[in-house]
Homo-oligomer: A and B are copies of this chain.
Amino acid sequence: MPTDAPPPAARIPDSSTADVRARLAAAFGDRAAFDGPALEAVREDRSGWRSDAPPAALVLAASVEEVQELMRIASATGTPVVPRGAGTGLAGGGISSRGSIVLDLSRMDRILEIDDVDELAVVEPGVLNGDLDRAARERGLWYAPDPASRAISSIGGNIATNAGGLLCAKYGVTRESVLGLAVVLADGSLLRTGHRTVKGVTGYDLTALLTGSEGTLGVIVEATLRLRPVVHGAIETVAAAFPDVESAGVAVGGVAAARVRPAILELIDPVGLARVAEHLGTDALAGTPLADFAPGETFLLAQCDAGDAAAEADVIARVFAEAGGRVERSTDAATGERLLDIRRAMHPALASRGNVLIEDVAVPRSKLPEMFREIARIGAHYGVEIPTLAHAGDGNLHPNFVFEGDEVPEHIWAAADELFRAAVRLGGTLTGEHGVGVLKRRWLAEELGDASVDLQRRIKAVFDPAGILNPGVMFPPGDGADR
Spell out A's residues near B (CB within 8 Å). 115-120, 140-141, 161-162, 164, 168-169, 172-173, 175-176, 189, 191-193, 195-206, 208-209, 211-213, 217, 228-230, 232-233, 253, 256-257, 259-261, 306-309, 311, 362-366, 391, 394-396, 427-436, 440, 444, 447-449, 451-453, 455-456, 458-459, 462-463, 474
Hey, which chain B residues are within 8 Å of A232, CB to CB? 308, 311
Assess the A191–B364 pair: CB atoms within 8 A: no
Hey, which chain B residues are within 8 Å of A208, CB to CB? 175, 205, 208-209, 211
Hey, which chain B residues are within 8 Å of A429, CB to CB? 195, 197, 199-202
Hey, which chain B residues are within 8 Å of A440, CB to CB? 202
Bound: A191/B452 CA distance, A: 7
Closest to A368 in B: B117
Hey, which chain B residues are within 8 Å of A260, CB to CB? 229
Assess the A197–B307 pair: CB atoms within 8 A: no
Assess the A363–B197 pair: CB atoms within 8 A: yes
Q: Which of B205, B211, B395, B462 interacts with A162 by CB under 8 Å?
A: B205
Bound: A453/B452 CA distance, A: 24
Q: Smallest CB–CB gap between A315 and chain B, Å?
A: 11
Assess the A365–B259 pair: CB atoms within 8 A: no
Bound: A260/B140 CA distance, A: 10
Hey, which chain B residues are within 8 Å of A168, CB to CB? 198-199
Assess the B191–A451 pair: CB atoms within 8 A: yes
Chain A contact surface mostly: loop
Closest to A233 in B: B308
Assess the B209–A204 pair: CB atoms within 8 A: yes
Hey, which chain B residues are within 8 Å of A396, CB to CB? 197, 199
Assess the A189–B451 pair: CB atoms within 8 A: yes
Query: Given A195-B429, A444-B202, A456-B203, do A256 and B119 touch, yes or no (CB 8 Å)?
Result: yes
Name the residue among A208, A444, A474 with the largest chain B CB count within 10 angstroms: A208
Assess the A259–B141 pair: CB atoms within 8 A: yes
Q: Which of B115, B191, B196, B433 interacts with A201 by CB under 8 Å?
A: B433
Bound: A196/B233 CA distance, A: 32
In the A-B complex, list the 7 residue pairs whose CB atoms are closest, starting with the nearest: A307-B307, A307-B308, A208-B208, A229-B259, A199-B432, A200-B429, A117-B366
Bound: A35/B189 CA distance, A: 49
Assess the B196–A364 pair: CB atoms within 8 A: yes
Bound: A309/B453 CA distance, A: 46
Bound: A206/B228 CA distance, A: 27
Hey, which chain B residues are within 8 Å of A229, CB to CB? 259-261
Hey, which chain B residues are within 8 Å of A430, CB to CB? 202
Bound: A213/B205 CA distance, A: 8
Hey, which chain B residues are within 8 Å of A164, CB to CB? 199, 201
Hey, which chain B residues are within 8 Å of A364, CB to CB? 115, 117-118, 120, 195-197
Hey, which chain B residues are within 8 Å of A462, CB to CB? 455, 458-459, 462
Q: Which of B195, B256, B257, B307 interacts with A427 by CB under 8 Å?
A: B195
Assess the B205–A201 pair: CB atoms within 8 A: no
Hey, which chain B residues are within 8 Å of A452, CB to CB? 191-193, 203, 206
A-B contact pairs, 29 of them (CB 8 A): A118-B364, A118-B395, A120-B364, A141-B259, A172-B172, A176-B176, A189-B451, A195-B427, A197-B364, A199-B391, A199-B396, A201-B429, A201-B431, A201-B433, A201-B435, A201-B436, A202-B430, A203-B436, A203-B447, A204-B212, A204-B217, A205-B208, A206-B455, A208-B209, A230-B259, A307-B307, A307-B308, A307-B309, A462-B462
Bound: A175/B206 CA distance, A: 13
Assess the B205–A211 pair: CB atoms within 8 A: yes
Bound: A164/B199 CA distance, A: 7
Query: Given A228-B261, A455-B463, A459-B462, do A203 and B433 touch, yes or no (CB 8 Å)?
Result: no
